[in-house]
Structure 1
Amino acid sequence: MDLRAGALLHVTSAASVQFVKPIFFRLIRVHADRITYDGWTWLDGYQLDATGDAVARRSIFVQRAGLRLLNPSALAPAPTKRTTRRPRRPVDNADRAGPARAG
């Protein structure tokens, strides 16, 4: 798996036992310079919520084989319902003067 900055990952217990509750993770970088066990790596990135918003910055130690690469649209927010606006009614200057006064 080719891990690049910006990749969206689903991290589960297959990657590390600390992820019994899976998380979504947006990758910032892979620490290629750190010496680790074979098949393991350090990743920096953001933990995401269900809508794709970052909730925490994290460094995680995981098995590469346990990571699942997701399509970037997997966490796209649901489209919001647009309300239509009525066009503004032109204002007549006579309406601004207020009611006419009697004499």
Structure 2
Amino acid sequence: MPPRSGDVLHVTRAASVQFVKPILFRVIRILDWVTYDGWVWLEGYELNPTGEAVSRRSIFVQLAGLRTLRSAPEPRPHTVRPRRPVARTPVRVG
């Protein structure tokens, strides 16, 4: 399953050879660029060990090599409140 916006990933060499030193990465979005099968471009923030963003990055990784550390919370359903009727009164002209 592809990552969602807000997911925190542990990106290692299993995801791409460029990550000899693993990083923590919080996903902003999956870019819709054409890639090889099983690979994706992710846009997001590299995190330091305390979870603070240190740099914004786009990374090219294999989905199979990603490990989700923390999933984003499920979006809350949109609640629709009933509208109150508008009080209409006659207007005098002239």
**TM-score (normalised: structure 1):** 0.66
Q: How does 1:78-93 map to 2 (within 5 A)?
A: none
2:38 corresponds to which residue? 39
Distance in 2, matches of 1:55 and 1:21, equals 16
Task: Give ranges in structure 2 of 5+ residues lacking alignment.
Answer: 72-94
**TM-score (normalised: structure 2):** 0.72
Q: How does 1:64-79 map to 2 (within 5 A)?
A: 64-71=63-70
Contact persistence 2:2–2:63 (CA under 8 A)? no
The structure that is helix-richer by fraction is: 1
Greater RCO (CA < 8 Å, at least 6 residues apart): 2
Task: Give ranges in structure 1 of 5+ residues lacking alignment.
Answer: 73-103
Distance in 2, matches of 1:3 and 1:22, equals 17
